[in-house]
Amino acid sequence: MRQVIDMVRVDKEILTPEEYIKLKETNPNSIKSTRIVPCTFGKDGFGKIEVTYHAARYVVGGVQ
């Protein structure tokens, strides 16, 4: 019996500052570029960080 695993290619994704710091500490060479995505006016938080990867990552089940 064959089993199929659905995977989605991810070239870039939006991370929280905490997720970005963890990625930067564990795998800094995977980051091609970053862009700050400001928070929405009137909401709490620091915004997000859009990360573009050198090589695509594949995520199981489309969960990013």
Amino acid symbol at 34: T
Taking the C-alpha atoms of residue 57 and residue 16, their distance in angstroms, rounded to an integer, is 18
Distance linking the first and last C-alpha atoms of the chain: 28
* Confidence tier at 36 by pLDDT (50, 70, 90): very high
Return the higher-pLDDT residue of 34 and 64: 34
* Confidence tier at 35 by pLDDT (50, 70, 90): very high
Record the pTM: 0.75
- Of 3, 4, 30, 5, the C-alpha closest to 15 is 30
Burial class (CB in 10 A: 0-12, 13-18, 19+), 1: exposed
